[in-house]
Amino acid sequence: MGNSMLIFLPLMILVFWLFFIRPQAKKAKQQKKFIEDLQKGDKVVTIAGIHGSVNKINEDGTLMLEVSPGSYIKIERSAVSMEWTAQLNKTAPAK
């Protein structure tokens, strides 16, 4: 019984790492790269569901988002949703 526990515990830790920790770390890395790569003119969706385009990238980690012509809001970069923005840009008609 002692030997089976010595095998079972590391195996359980490995499975936990493969299915939970590793994918979350990979997703966090992708989100960070996505936020860093934002540029003026990019169409984005915030985590609150607000659609707009990036008008200005501020030095303090915020963005000026144009939500309608001439109407701007200031948001944190981290408030941009990578998944919803990718879905928006995937379904947008090509010009």
At residue 92 the predicted structure's pLDDT band, cuts being 50, 70 and 90, is low
Quote the pLDDT of residue 94.
54
Nearest to 36 by CA among 87, 78, 73, 90: 78
Computed over every residue of the chain, the mean pLDDT equals: 88
Query: Which tens digit of pLDDT belongs to each residue from 20-63?
Result: 888 888 998 998 999 989 999 999 999 999 999 999 999 998 99
Question: For the chain, how far is it from start to end, CA to CA, in angstroms?
Answer: 67
At residue 74 the predicted structure's pLDDT band, cuts being 50, 70 and 90, is very high
Q: Beta-strand (E) ranges in 6-85?
A: 43-45, 51-57, 62-68, 71-76
The arithmetic mean of pLDDT across residues 11-26, rounded, is 87
Quick one: angle between helices 22-36 and 82-91, nearest 10?
60
Quote the pLDDT of residue 84.
86
